Chains A and B, each alone.
Chain A
Amino acid sequence: MSGKENLFQSLGLAFYLAGMATGSFLNSKSTASFKRLLSYEVGNLLVGSFFLVFLYLHLGYGISSNFNAPVSPEDLPQFPLFLWGLGGVFLIGSFTGAELPEFLKFKPLEKNKVLFLNYFGALFSGIFLNFLLGHSFDTKQVLLIFTIMVGVNFLTLIMLSRKWILVLSIFLLPLTFSLSVRLGEKIEKAFLASYYLGTKVDGFREFIRLAETSSKIGLIENIKTPFQDLHLVTELPVRGSATKGNISLYLNYRPQFDLYSYTTYHESMVAGALNLSQMVPRKVLILGGGDGILLNVIKKFLPETKVTLIELDPVMLNIFKNNSNLLHFNDDVFNSGFGTVVQDDAFAFIKEDNNKYDAIFIDFPYPYSDELTSLYSAEFFKTLKRNMNSGGFFIVDFPVTDGENFSLLYLKLEKTLKVAGIETVFPFGPYSSFVYGKLKKETVSFSYEKMPEDIHLSTSLNLFGLSHLERGEKSVKSFSLFYEQ
């Protein structure tokens, strides 16, 4: 949600472990107590059920009372993210950390077995969690399942202690779950409406009602896949407004494209690379691009070429093949018989594929996760090199929107490509940036007289080299076609 998945993954684990440490330090009582163990379980149950609800509530209300336009991850207030996200994780860690010493006190002569079962539980949780995520359960549902498990644990402990609190728990558990489910769903909808539709509200009640009222402004399809959160936002047309009436796709809260920007990005990539290479590739590989737009643009420019597309997410392929609202983006290319589509991890595919390609188009989402950052590594490009014909080329999206860091990151990528043995590197695109590469060293530049005539004006404006980046100069890039920054 923050758009900084790597950072928050590490911080999330860190806060959980800090919580565990705090819990262990605080639980230094010498005798074992069922009552204490029960209180830790209640703590876990309450925090686990509600922290996500409060996160959506705080963020959503914060956005809708301050913004009247759609926001980006960078606009999200960091304090609530820290408070509810990391605070919740810290509290759960604290209660969990206090439990293990308690169990060790109950069984002082069998510490190794207690520790073994503790690790075994962590193993089970890891496998079970991945099973749930792999079967398209969303974060809220996973949280609920784990909260129910804590609840069952809590009940078992109560039955073991045979206390009057059993009666109370019979009321407390269903109340917690029903509140969490009912509130959570409504508040998540309101949060998404405020995030994507830019609905400004005047009060708290109006924010809660946003879950129902937002459908008058736009529709948000919330699709969870085993790999990402996919949000398809349709803003309804408004008379007199030039910017309403748009369809946008967001992956993990990051924009991918919308009606106004998708042609510039994909046409620049294909027309730019073909113009720079001055060749007609016979065999093309597309890595990513599960929306089919790039495949369709290649079909337009190279209708006779053999194309293979590798996409990790089967849900993405499915919706861009079957959702009638989205077919105009790719002209129904997946049902046209053009190209071969393979569902696999791109890195793993190129490692195992022995084919050589004349052109490789790399169209991945923004590198916010560990898996995606590894695709901008020397190892990836060293592997990619094996799949390229000696005169072939590749083109990779360089999705940086921060003007200050653009030059710095480009130099890092250039160095990485050189380490991987890519001799020619050419950055271009002031609006949508790409890096073009060839194995052999040669001088490349655009031949504007050979540009196809049927490309869009916005594409033509994007086909400019960014050679000043190589000199380490600050970029002029401070805006994009998608976001006003």
Chain B
Amino acid sequence: MKKSSWFLITLILAFCSLSYEFIMVKVMTMSLGGRIGNYNLIVSLFTFSLGMGTLFSEKVNKEKTKETLCVVEFLLSSVGMLSPALILFFPSLWLGSLFSLLIGFLSGFEFPLLLNIKPNSDSSLLGFDYLGMFLASIITPLIFFREIGIIPTLILVGMMNLLIAIVILEKSKLSKLAFGLFFFTSFFVIKNHEALNLSVGEVVF
């Protein structure tokens, strides 16, 4: 895979990680209320587990970096898509904390693994990582949440993550299938965003 493709992957993965965090915070506020402690707990646990994930990624066998990254992305996509939906239906601070820890821990693995894959591109990889988070902080709360709602955003981000997991495998047929699935899901989600949001309602302001 080309160097530029890895930069793009870094950007998308950072976008997905921060988007999951925005979705978690929004869902937790909607289902448990706006106690400042809840918000802080979620953000702190996410940041803490990011650090732990980074530390644990040292133990990954360097020869299996790509495979590990792929597994991490599959897991992240599943946990990321499942957790907000579960919190909406079974609101609990413990459940929210557990999922935040998991999402943070898995996201923490990403960057060191990418550094292992492209060892001499520290600054550029960091730059794309921040750029991905920059895009997430604009697009997710200001465009996605407002225009299509929380649940459709969650599905889009999860699918994007899944797509990257498959692309990392470098199996062209599977990648093509994944691209197709991603575009089909995106089209379906955007077209039916009102119905998808109806079960959880929407925020007026």
Contacts and interface: CB of A to CB of B under 8 A. Distances in A.
Contacts of A415: 202
Nearest to B26: A370
A379 B51 contact: no
A112 B32 contact: no
Chain B interface residue bracket vs A = 35 or more
Interface in B19-52: 25-26, 29-36, 39-40, 43-44, 47-48, 50-52
B204 A111 contact: no
A123 interface: yes
Given A101-B126, A111-B115, A116-B51, A21 B201 contact: no
Interface string A360-388: 00000001001111111111111000000
Interface stretch (A145-153, A341-349, A474-482): A341-349
B123 A119 contact: no
Contacts of B205: 367, 372-373, 376, 409
B43 A378 contact: no
Contact of B123 (A28, A111, A380): A28
- Decide if the interface of chain A is mainly helix, strand, loop or mixed: helix
A351 interface: yes
Interface in A1-32: 6-7, 10-11, 13-14, 17-18, 20-22, 24-25, 27-28
A346 B40 CA distance: 18
A120 B203 CA distance: 33
Given A112-B58, A123-B47, A347-B33, A377 B201 contact: yes
B130 A379 contact: no
B112 A112 contact: yes
Range, interface on chain A: 35 or more
Interface stretch (A126-134, A270-278, A426-434): A126-134
A112 B204 contact: no
A101 B138 CA distance: 25
Contacts of B1: none
Contact of B204 (A10, A100, A123, A409): A409
A456 interface: no
A146 to B, nearest CB: 17
Given A25-B127, A28-B124, A347-B33, A130 B40 contact: yes
A373 B203 contact: yes
Given A226-B36, A370-B29, A119 B201 contact: no
B34 A21 contact: no
Contacts of A134: 36
Interface in A100-158: 100-101, 104-105, 111-113, 115-120, 122-123, 126-127, 130, 134
B194 to A, nearest CB: 10
Interface string B96-111: 0000000000001001
A297 B44 CA distance: 42
Contact of B133 (A11, A17, A101): A17
A315 interface: no
Interface in A404-448: 409, 412-413, 415-416, 419-420
Nearest to A344: B35
Contacts of A100: 126
A377 B203 contact: yes
Contact of A24 (B26, B35, B130): B130
A97 interface: yes
B131 to A, nearest CB: 4
B185 interface: no
A71 B50 CA distance: 44
A227 interface: yes
B153 interface: no
B202 A14 contact: no
A261 B138 CA distance: 38
B179 to A, nearest CB: 26
Contact of A419 (B111, B122, B124, B201): B201
Interface in A24-69: 24-25, 27-28
Interface of A: 6-7, 10-11, 13-14, 17-18, 20-22, 24-25, 27-28, 97, 100-101, 104-105, 111-113, 115-120, 122-123, 126-127, 130, 134, 226-227, 345-349, 351, 367, 370-382, 409, 412-413, 415-416, 419-420
Interface of B: 25-26, 29-36, 39-40, 43-44, 47-48, 50-52, 54-55, 57-58, 88, 91, 108, 111-112, 115, 122-124, 126-131, 133-134, 137-138, 141-142, 198, 200-205
Given A21-B129, A377-B204, 8 more contacts: A21-B126, A112-B57, A116-B55, A119-B50, A119-B51, A123-B44, A123-B48, A412-B204
25 contacts: A18-B134, A21-B126, A101-B122, A101-B123, A115-B51, A115-B111, A116-B51, A116-B54, A117-B51, A119-B50, A123-B51, A347-B32, A347-B33, A348-B33, A348-B34, A348-B35, A367-B204, A371-B34, A374-B33, A374-B203, A375-B34, A409-B204, A412-B204, A416-B203, A420-B201
A-B interface, 7 closest residue pairs, ranked by CB to CB distance from nearest: A378-B201, A371-B34, A347-B33, A119-B51, A348-B33, A21-B130, A24-B127
